[in-house]
Structures are given as structure tokens and as C-alpha cells.
Chains A and B, each alone.
Chain A
Amino acid sequence: DTEVTQTPKHLVMGMTNKKSLKCEQHMGHRAMYWYKQKAKKPPELMFVYSYEKLSINESVPSRFSPECPNSSLLNLHLHALQPEDSALYLCASSQEGRDGYNEQFFGPGTRLTVL
């Protein structure tokens, strides 16, 4: 199984709502990532988890709260978002290979719209 799954595929929420995005992988990878991608722009790294601990936070606003409950799951909790947070949210996972390279496997993303 070389698949990263993300749910939901689409999400519409109001600025006062609380919602969560979910990401799952069963490849045994110990690194997991959240990216944000605005239309016609490249993906931007938000968070990196390594062995279930947050290792990188790219100065993301606190209205985005990541969580890694176990080695297969990654959540992104959303609260009090703004319309400019509307974007495609991508999850990825990776594991260091023998020659030191580190291929990331991406999920299909969650398309988020904030009204």
C-alpha cells in the first residue's frame, strides 16, 4: 500500500466553525507533513512531524493546530479561519531511504473553502 488518504475531499466552513482534516498512511513512514496550496501557486510547507513529534512549524497561525495521534494518522484542526485560508491542503509522508534520499508520498488533498 503506497497510498496517502485524506478526508474529506471537500470542506466548506464558516469563520466561526471548528473542523478537522484527516490524513492516513500505512506505509510505516515516520515523517508526515502538511502543505497549503493556493490556486496557481506551489505547495507551501506548514508542519512536519517526525516520529509523532512536531519538528517543524513554518510560522503557521495558531488557528491551524496539527496533531499526530499515532504513526499512521495526522490531523489538522481548524478554528476561526479566514476566507484567505481557502486552499488545497495536502498531506504527505516519507521515510529515509538507504542512500539518504527521502521521497515524499502525497495525498490528493482537501479542498477547503472558508465563507
Chain B
Amino acid sequence: DAKTTQPPSMDCAEGRAANLPCNHSTISGNEYVYWYRQIHSQGPQYIIHGLKNNETNEMASLIITEDRKSSTLILPHATLRDTAVYYCTLSPYGGATNKLIFGTGTLLAVQP
């Protein structure tokens, strides 16, 4: 299974943009990049996914490099409620199931 590497922790000031990097140098051509987050003591929550184009939704933006070996999740205006562990994962395109292998994630601490 392809792996991802993320910094273990990051800080961000409330109201500023949070940029969370992820390296996935062994990504295969048919693999999506998925981002999930887990707020303390809750189940993980889907944020966004992408294949090769940049993506944006109501929660975040995802920037994927042209070679697809790394990506950055952007929370444009971080709030205290965004404090969580953020996981970058890879999974093949298509199929009835989605085998997610979570890496160690980044603990984002949003400071007031």
C-alpha cells in the first residue's frame, strides 16, 4: 500500500489560513488523495479528495502538485473548532469499497 508522510504537529492562529502538507511520493496513477480529520474522541470526518486537479469545497481546498507526489490541504480561515488530527490517505479510484490506510496524521492546534 502506498504511504503518506505528514508533519506530526502544526500551530495556526485563529482566522489565518492553515496549510497542511502531505508527501505521497509512491502514489499510483489510479489513486485518489483523501483528507479526513478527527476531532478529539470523535470518528474521522471526510474533508475533501482529489485525483490530479486542485479541488475546493465548503470546508477546504486541496492543492496537488503536477507530479502528484505531494499535496497541501488549506483551511482558509481556521477556527478553534478546526483543532483536530488531519489525515492524508490514498485509495484507488473506483470500486465498491475503499481501503483507507491512515498515516500518523498532523495534529493542528488553532490558537486564539
| Contact status of A45 and B101, CB under 8 A, knowing A101-B32, A103-B49, A107-B43 | yes
**Majority secondary structure, B binding face:** loop
Question: Does A50 lie at the interface of the complex (its beta carbon under 8 Å from any beta carbon of B)?
Answer: yes
Task: With both chains docked as a complex, state the minimum distance between the C-beta of B58 and any C-beta of chain A, in angstroms.
Answer: 14
Question: Does A16 lie at the interface of the complex (its beta carbon under 8 Å from any beta carbon of B)?
Answer: no
What mask results when residues 1 to 35 of chain A are scored 1 for a CB within 8 Å of chain B, else 0? 00010000000000000000000000000110100
Interface residues on A, range: 20 to 34
Contacts of B100 in A (CB 8 A): 43, 45, 104
Q: Is the CB of B43 within 8 A of A31?
A: no
In the complex, the chain B residue whose C-beta lies closest to that of A108 is B43
Contacts of B87 in A (CB 8 A): 42
The interface stretch among A60-68, A71-79, A88-96 is A88-96
Q: Is the CB of A48 within 8 A of B99?
A: yes
- How many residues of chain B are within 8 Å of chain A by beta carbon? 26
Q: Which residues of A does B touch, CB under 8 Å?
A: 4, 30-31, 33, 41-45, 48, 50-51, 55-56, 90, 92, 94, 96, 100-109
20 A-B residue contacts at CB 8 Å? A4-B43, A30-B96, A42-B85, A42-B87, A42-B105, A43-B102, A45-B101, A48-B99, A50-B96, A51-B96, A55-B97, A56-B99, A94-B97, A100-B93, A100-B95, A101-B93, A102-B98, A103-B98, A104-B44, A106-B45
